[in-house]
Amino acid sequence: MLVAQSSDVSSDLGIYLPLVVMFALAAAFAVFSALLGPLVGPSRYNRAKFQAYECGIEPSPQPVVGGGRVPVAYYLTAMLFILFDIEMVFLYPFAVSADVLGLFGLVEIFLFIATVGFAYAYVWRRGGLDWN
Amino acid sequence: MLLAQQGAATVSTGEAVSFWVLGPLALAGALGMIFARNAVHSALFLVMTMLSLGCIYMVQQAPFLGFVQIIVYTGAIMMLFLFVLMLVGRDASDSVVEVLRGQRLWAGVLGVGLAVLITGAVARSLIDVTDQGLAADTANGGRGNVANIGQLIFSDYLFPFELTSALLITAAVGAMVLGYVNREQRGRRTQKELVEARFRGEHDRPSPLPGPGVFATANSVATPALLPDGSVAPESLSRLIESTTADKLAAERESVAGTGPAAGTRALAPGKEESR
Amino acid sequence: MTRAQLLADDPLWLILIKAVALLLLGALATMAMIILERKIVARMQHRPGPNRVGPNGWFQSIADAIKLPFKEQIIPDTADRKVYFLAPIISTIPAFLAFSVIPFGPEVSIFGERTVLQLVDLPVGVLVVLACSSLGVYGIVLAGWASGSPYPLLGGLRSAAQVISYEIAMGLSIVAVILYTGSLSTGDIVDAQASGWYFYLLIPSFLIYCVSMVGETNRAPFDLPEAESELVGGFHTEYSSMKFALFFLAEYVNMVIVSAFCTTLFLGGYMAPWPVSLIGDNYFNTGWWPLLWFFTKTWFFLFVFIWLRGTLPRMRYDQFMRLGWKILVPANLVWIVLVVALRAFRNEAEISATTILVAGGIVLVVLIGLSFLLPDRAAPDEDSDRVPVTGGGYPIPPLDLVVPDKDAAAPRRVRRKRQTASVGAGAEKETEQ
């Protein structure tokens, strides 16, 4: 037996073993598949094949969209994502122990959501959530 | 591989193995981040470090912290980094000009300070801190990791917790101030209003420009559309495509004539093609 | 023994069997899903769909799977080769990894070993699925970036922004479930639904989850990253051969994951549905039977995915982002506060549960109504001179028009005459050209 027979299960690192096995198998499968293509597939050289796809025209030497820059709205979205991700992550332990905390917890979480909601409302009002 | 039966003072085999796998990975990621030439590669190495740290947290019986590390740091914050790198553009090279005066000096001073802090913390953890053991029940107060974190955050550490929400406000406002481009939303016209404006003659033509002649003679958007009399519809030519071809032709002429400029920033691109 | 203890006792060979089974499940579900999708969408559009390979074309997916490795792999010159190679792998691994926390069934015996039909039951199982989905985004962004080509870059960015936006809505809709369960473990969530499934106890969460799971997997009507009319193929435009297949696999495995996760969170996981659960002291909830219920529920969601694709037109990007950020997220937060309040007051036990439910329902309806009323754009003014569909100046046939039976209505001779005339007209046209 490779895994410890322990009564105290959660203190055992063995609970992560299946995850590691799954990761190894999935990684092996993915790498194998990615390597399989060039091995069994044909390879016939053609200059046009190595050009980036631009609907049949010669690829423009100019960089992609807007001088190689992406719209700033993506940055805002990512920033908001961090904001709500952190809020979400705090809500999980709260949700687990909400019953113990009772009314006190309700007030706390209401304050927390309201505070984040304030930032959210500000971004909304300034048009940070609008896409063109 | 007996993992749990050993005493609290010794490090179990599983923990040792995971540490010696994850630790070097994290370190390699950190070094790779510093030495990679490409900014996106740097970011990827940093992702690797964050992932390894998350796994190390899990090994230390903090599964919640471990997965939060993966979700928030690798998932959200590194994604922001990637977006910002793409915001700057793929080909942007590092600027060698120092914008901040005395940057190196301050970097050195702060770096030494950080090193001292870390050494102090590590030394203290080696000498002072009593070993609590990592068995989940003792480490997590007998209530399980997540429940324990929840009850501690919302009782003993309530004030710091509410402060984080203030921090989040700062982040949102900062992002808006930095990233906001003043787009006048109120003044934007709807599709219907635009159509009406077109037919009232506020634009050059009521209809959109004719598409390229893709289906007529060739499969390229560079093919012009033909008018009923067989002549080329000038509006169907993309300004960008036309200028690209024209620019290329001009550049080739120059290089043949020997009047062109010496190898520029993009000189590597054609060479790559020939080396194949 | 508890579920976690049973799983911790698994010997290595059992873990391997389960992991391989999950890998196979992912691959087979993808193949089944592709052929089913093509068949069902074809049926919805009144065409036969694939009908060449095997009986009625049902082996089409197998033929495709065999074909793909033998296709030439083309990497554009502008690509960043290392990242280009890594991207499909990065998007595949998390997709499979998320499978490991899904509980497929209760305690069974495999080759004499008591175990649970689940690979691993972590105390933070829900977070594993979220972490995997946030890692999978990297595959998409990196594929777009590494291709060095405009369409993939745009597609990758769009896709990433979309996935992270809807991940918020998804993660928040789980909070209410955790409030009821008091645990982040997927096994506990299923067990907690023995008294009632959450999809009717927590309807708003369920609906928000369903919308966000479609957005999260980049599927129609939210398939903007691959909008063929705008972006060719999206982030995998420059990918071919097995690398393309890996992206395809990851997309479909992700669909299976979110469906299975939805089943776990809201539809009682592997538990037998109501009329069946009454039979023989819940006999059908033991042994291997629950696998059947689990897959039935999961495939129901997968069918809805296909159904949506066959039915709905693609949304515009700004509409899509508005739905995510301006409707789903705030509605979710309000709902969470309501649920917390409901539970807190009920635990104080001064007000009866019915009163709270009624009051909460009214407040919820008002709030949802308000959230729709929030001014976003001025309402379009009333268009009085719009052309009516019927009854206007145009000769539009009435909607209840009955076409008379042509055999009965028209004498033979007249009909033939008309036919020749029309043929003649067609011939004339052809000679003209």
DSSP string, B104-152: HHHHHHHHHHHHHHHHHHHHHHHHTPPP----HHHHTTTS-HHHHHHHH
Residues 10-49 of chain A whose Cβ lies under 8 A from any Cβ of chain B: 10-14, 16, 45, 47
Residue A87 lies in a domain: yes
- Tally of CB atoms within 10 A around A89: 18
Size of interface B-C (CB pairs under 8 A): 73
Determine the pLDDT at residue B118. Answer: 92
CA atoms of B59 and B19, how far apart (whole Å):
8
Measured in angstroms, the CA of C340 and the nearest CA of chain B are apart by: 14
Choose among C19, C157, C344: nearest Cβ to A70.
C157
Using the structure block, give the residue that is written with the tokens 């969408």: C41
Interchain CB contact of A106 with C (< 8 Å): yes
- % of residues, chain C, pLDDT over 70: 82
Choose among C22, C154, C178: nearest Cβ to A92.
C178
Size of interface A-C (CB pairs under 8 A): 233
Determine the pLDDT at residue B28. Answer: 93
Determine the pLDDT at residue C303. Answer: 92
Identify the H or E element spanning C117: strand C113-117
Determine the pLDDT at residue B2. Answer: 38
Neighbours of chain A (3+ CB pairs under 8 A): B, C
Final residue of a domain: which of B24, B57, B90? B90
Selected for mutation to probe chain B from A10, A46, A53, A124 (highest B CB count within 10 Å) is A10
Choose among B63, B86, B192: nearest Cβ to C157.
B86
Q: Which residues of B touch C164 (CB under 8 A)?
A: 75-76, 79
Determine the pLDDT at residue A59. Answer: 60
10 Å CB burial of residue C401 (0-12, 13-18, 19+) is exposed
- Both B219 and B158 in a single domain? no
**C265-301: b (≥16 Cβ within 10 Å) or e:** bbbbbbbbeeebbeeeeeebbeeebbeebbbebbbeb
Amino acid type, B129: V
The pLDDT-based confidence of A77 (bands split at 50, 70, 90) is confident
Closest residue in chain B to residue C171, using alpha carbons only: B71
Choose among A55, A67, A89: nearest Cβ to B221.
A55
**Residue B232: is its pLDDT beyond 80?**
no
- % of residues, chain B, pLDDT over 90: 11
Measured in angstroms, the CA of C363 and the nearest CA of chain B are apart by: 26
Determine the pLDDT at residue A5. Answer: 37
pLDDT averaged over every residue in chain A: 75
**B84-108 average pLDDT score:** 71
Q: Can you name the residues that pair with B105 across neighbouring β-strands?
A: none
Closest residue in chain C to residue B38, using alpha carbons only: C80
User: Tens digits of per-residue pLDDT, B170-229?
Assistant: 888 888 887 766 555 556 677 788 888 888 877 777 777 777 766 555 666 667 777 777
CA atoms of A10 and A12, how far apart (whole Å):
5
User: Tens digits of per-residue pLDDT, C295-305?
Assistant: 899 999 999 99
**Residue A11: is its pLDDT beyond 60?**
no
User: Do C141 and B82 make contact, defined as CB atoms within 8 angstroms?
Assistant: yes
The pLDDT-based confidence of C209 (bands split at 50, 70, 90) is very high
Determine the pLDDT at residue A4. Answer: 38
**Residue C423: is its pLDDT beyond 60?**
no
CA atoms of C168 and C164, how far apart (whole Å):
7
Determine the pLDDT at residue C353. Answer: 65
User: Tens digits of per-residue pLDDT, C324-361?
Assistant: 888 888 888 888 888 888 888 777 766 666 776 777 78
Residue B213 lies in a domain: yes
Determine the pLDDT at residue B6. Answer: 39
Q: Which residues of C touch A62 (CB under 8 A)?
A: none
**A37, two tokens:** 């293509």
Between C356 and A38, residue with greater pLDDT:
A38
Measured in angstroms, the CA of C411 and the nearest CA of chain A are apart by: 55
DSSP SS3 for C109: strand
Residue B197 lies in a domain: yes
Interchain CB contact of C318 with B (< 8 Å): no
Residue B239 lies in a domain: yes
Q: Can you name the residues that pair with C109 across neighbouring β-strands?
A: C114
**C168-173 average pLDDT score:** 90
Residue B154 lies in a domain: yes
Determine the pLDDT at residue B113. Answer: 94
Selected for mutation to probe chain B from A47, A65, A85 (highest B CB count within 10 Å) is A85
Q: Which residues of C touch B63 (CB under 8 A)?
A: 122-124, 127
Cis ω on the peptide bond leading into residue C221 (within 30° of 0)? yes
Contact A94, C337 (CB under 8 A): no
- Both B177 and B208 in a single domain? no
Dihedral angle at the C-alpha atoms of A90, A94, A95, A96, nearest 10 degrees? 110
DSSP SS3 for B173: helix
**Residue B115: is its pLDDT beyond 90?**
yes
> Which of C419, B220, C239, B219 shows the shortest CA–CA distance to A41?
C239
Backbone angles phi, psi at C109, to 5 degrees: -120, 120
Determine the pLDDT at residue C395. Answer: 60
Domain count along chain A: 1
**Among the listed ranges A47-56, B172-181, C361-370, which one has the minimum average pLDDT value?**
A47-56
Determine the pLDDT at residue B78. Answer: 87
CA atoms of C432 and B112, how far apart (whole Å):
89
Residue A81 lies in a domain: yes
**Residue A100: is its pLDDT beyond 70?**
yes
Q: Can you name the residues that pair with C115 across neighbouring β-strands?
A: C108
- Both B30 and B71 in a single domain? yes
Closest residue in chain C to residue A15, using alpha carbons only: C8
CA atoms of B242 and B250, how far apart (whole Å):
12
What string of DSSP letters covers C316-374? PHHHHHHIIIIIIHHHHHHHHHHHHHHHHHHHHTSS-HHHHHHHHHHHHHHHHHHHHHS
Final residue of a domain: which of B38, B58, B90? B90
Q: How many CA atoms lie within 13 A of C182 on its CB side?
A: 12
Selected for mutation to probe chain B from A54, A81, A96, A123 (highest B CB count within 10 Å) is A96
What CATH number is given to the structural domain containing B80? 1.20.120.1200
Residue B158 lies in a domain: yes
Size of interface A-B (CB pairs under 8 A): 216
Handedness of CA C356, C362, C365, C369 (dihedral sign): negative
* CA–CA–CA angle C141, C144, C150 (5° rounding): 140
**C32, two tokens:** 């089944």
Residue A36 lies in a domain: no
Domain range summary for chain C, segments of one domain joined by +: 3-315, 330-375
Between C77 and C208, residue with greater pLDDT:
C208
Domain that holds residue B51: 13-90
Neighbours of chain C (3+ CB pairs under 8 A): A, B
Q: Which residues contact B245 (CB under 8 A, 6 or more apart)?
A: A58, B222
The pLDDT-based confidence of C429 (bands split at 50, 70, 90) is very low
Interchain CB contact of A74 with B (< 8 Å): yes
Between A128 and A61, residue with greater pLDDT:
A128
CA atoms of A75 and C32, how far apart (whole Å):
38
Q: How many CA atoms lie within 13 A of B206 on its CB side?
A: 6
CA atoms of C126 and C173, how far apart (whole Å):
12
pTM for the complete prediction?
0.77
Determine the pLDDT at residue B116. Answer: 95
- Both B178 and B226 in a single domain? no
User: Tens digits of per-residue pLDDT, C116-165?
Assistant: 888 888 888 899 999 998 888 888 888 888 887 777 887 888 888 888 88
Using the structure block, give the residue that is written with the tokens 């909008």: C227
Determine the pLDDT at residue B30. Answer: 92
Q: Which residues contact B24 (CB under 8 A, 6 or more apart)?
A: none
Determine the pLDDT at residue B159. Answer: 86
CA atoms of C323 and C337, how far apart (whole Å):
20
Interchain CB contact of C32 with A (< 8 Å): no
pLDDT averaged over every residue in chain B: 75
Residue A3 lies in a domain: no
User: Do A13 and B14 make contact, defined as CB atoms within 8 angstroms?
Assistant: yes
**C16-31 average pLDDT score:** 90
Q: Does the predicted interface ipTM exceed a cut of 0.85?
A: no
User: Do A95 and C243 make contact, defined as CB atoms within 8 angstroms?
Assistant: no
Domain count along chain B: 3
The pLDDT-based confidence of C93 (bands split at 50, 70, 90) is very high
**Residue A1: is its pLDDT beyond 70?**
no
